[in-house]
Amino acid sequence: MNLLPDDAVDRIAEGCREIGTLCKNHGIEQWEIVASQSYGHSIDIEAGKISLAAGGGEGGYGIRVVEDGRFGYAYLVDLGSADYAIQQARDIAKVSPSVAGFTLPSNQEAEKVNGLFDKNILDIGPEDLLEQADSILSEVASLDERAVVTGGGLGVGASAGAILSSEGIESSGVTTSHGIGVQVSIEADGELTSSYEGESSRKRLQHVPDCVSVAVDWAQKTRGPIEVNSEAHDTPVLMTSEGFSPLFSMVVPSAIRGDRLVRNESFWSGKQGEMVLAQHLSLIDDGRLEGGKSASARDGEGVPTRRQTLVEQGRLVGSLWSTRDAAQQVAEGRIEHAQTNGCAVRGGHQSPPSTGCSDLQMISSVKSSSQEALLERMEEGYIVHSVMGAHTANPTSGDFSVTTSTLLRVEGGEVIGPVKQAGLSGNLAKALSNDVHLGDEVRVQGSYSSGNMHLPDVLLMQGLRINPV
């Protein structure tokens, strides 16, 4: 069984050409057609059992028209409604504000990015996923007879995509994905603990990936909470990649968007060329990362992607731009010159492009450390593995206040036991600006904003406050 029909790419590419011809016939100044068609299988797990198996496909076309600096957007599923969608986009453009200098990008050569497609995923059918789900349930039970997979699931997908524009951009291709997530709970002796872990890749995952044992481990190690000082206090915190990524992804990608920087909506506004992170830290957005979950040869507008350094050795040296955001900020006089640097992202064919990151990495020029070495350096503090409420963090100021029930108390450089629950607050910009230390294992995490985060464990020695319950 082949997950993706053999002619999927050809069909949507031909659909783009049909809509493009209609746009020409309507005499539209500039137009851009994007198309996507996704297929997949999935398995849901609930209360230790497989609760639902599903499969299917979805997709459609998006049309962006630009006339006199005004743009309108509409989307459709059936090519028979293309004329109506084109007129709808054009009507929207007529009542939209004009942005002087805004035109669609011209065609440029783009090199292929490797690792975005795995033909082995195309051979995975519902029966294979059922077998994998059974193996995951069995593995959890073998690791701890008290442990139950109370939620989660697994799935595979293949997506065909295409873009065609009046400016000569024409591109199409296929990507694949395989993802697993499990919520493991242990309820015994009047106590309930749980942990959610997930893993996803462009390539076929292991039959039972490492995230399964990690979920069991955290459900185990957070049992039997100890008594700690309940007064709020400033303290070092070692945030695991899983605990750190929700806060990081909520505020940092927004902070390096060019339009937010020049509108004074970023905690790094007005700091171009200045130190904004600890001196050994750099931020790199790699739209061409091999196997990157958000990587591609072209961005959401068809502009070639690139690897670019945004913060170098602590100093802010770059920012993210898409075509319209760059033109608008120049037209409104907030910046003298700006242009796209291949950072347009889309949520699918139903939405126009916006500015965002691809695969964002935080790296250090200092040798990374094992978790044991980080705990020894911290000496006294907490390990935080997950947070609740990260979406409430303020991307303009960097301030946040979240809660966590997956944390461990550290004294003398060693874990002495779990803490039932605590509030965690601080300012991420301040915490990252001094006395920061990175772990030696980078893990890929999803994002609240855009793209994916490639982050290790992060020891933050300053700027955080814990309030144990």
Cβ-based neighbour number of residue 273 at 10 Å: 8
Judged on CB neighbours under 10 Å (0-12, 13-18, 19+), 219 is buried
Mean pLDDT over 213-233 rounds to 95
Q: CA 301, 303, 306, 311 torsion: positive or negative?
A: negative
Ranges of H-type helices in 144-232: 210-221
Q: Give the integer Cα–Cα distance in Å for 334 and 331.
A: 8
Q: CA 336, 342, 343, 345 torsion: positive or negative?
A: positive
Q: Give the integer Cα–Cα distance in Å for 207 and 147.
A: 19
Cβ-based neighbour number of residue 37 at 10 Å: 23
* pLDDT, tens digit, 9 for 90 and up, residues 283-318: 999 999 999 999 999 999 999 999 999 999 999 999
| pLDDT value, residue 4 | 87
Q: Is the pLDDT of residue 325 over 60?
A: yes
Q: Is the pLDDT of residue 393 over 80?
A: yes
* Residues whose CB is less than 8 angstroms from the CB of residue 67 and which lie 6 or more positions away in sequence, other chains included: 28, 29, 30, 90, 93, 94
- DSSP class of residue 290 equals T
Q: CA 339, 342, 346, 352 torsion: positive or negative?
A: positive
Q: Give the integer Cα–Cα distance in Å for 22 and 133.
A: 47
How many angstroms separate the Cα of 37 from the Cα of each of 98, 297, 434? 32, 18, 46
Q: Give the integer Cα–Cα distance in Å for 322 and 354.
A: 7
Q: Is the pLDDT of residue 320 over 80?
A: yes
* Residues whose CB is less than 8 angstroms from the CB of residue 409 and which lie 6 or more positions away in sequence, other chains included: 226, 228, 382, 415, 416, 417, 418, 419
Q: Give the integer Cα–Cα distance in Å for 89 and 87.
A: 5
| pLDDT value, residue 254 | 95
Least confident of 202-211, 238-247, 421-430, 447-456: 447-456
Of 196, 113, 265, whose CA–CA distance to 445 is shortest?
196
* pLDDT, tens digit, 9 for 90 and up, residues 360-390: 999 999 999 999 999 999 999 999 999 999 9
In this structure, are residues 361 and 284 in contact, taking their beta carbons and an 8 Å threshold?
A: yes
* pLDDT, tens digit, 9 for 90 and up, residues 138-156: 999 999 999 999 999 999 9
- DSSP class of residue 320 equals B
Mean pLDDT over 90-98 rounds to 97
Give phi and psi for 195, each to the nearest 5: -155, 140
Predicted TM-score (pTM) of the model is: 0.94
Q: Is the pLDDT of residue 450 over 90?
A: no
In this structure, are residues 465 and 372 in contact, taking their beta carbons and an 8 Å threshold?
A: no
Domains located in the chain, CATH noted: 8-221 (3.30.2290.10), 233-468 (no CATH)
How does strand 381-388 pair with strand 237-239?
parallel
Q: CA 253, 254, 256, 259 torsion: positive or negative?
A: positive
| Tokens encoding 133 | 């789900």
| pLDDT value, residue 1 | 52
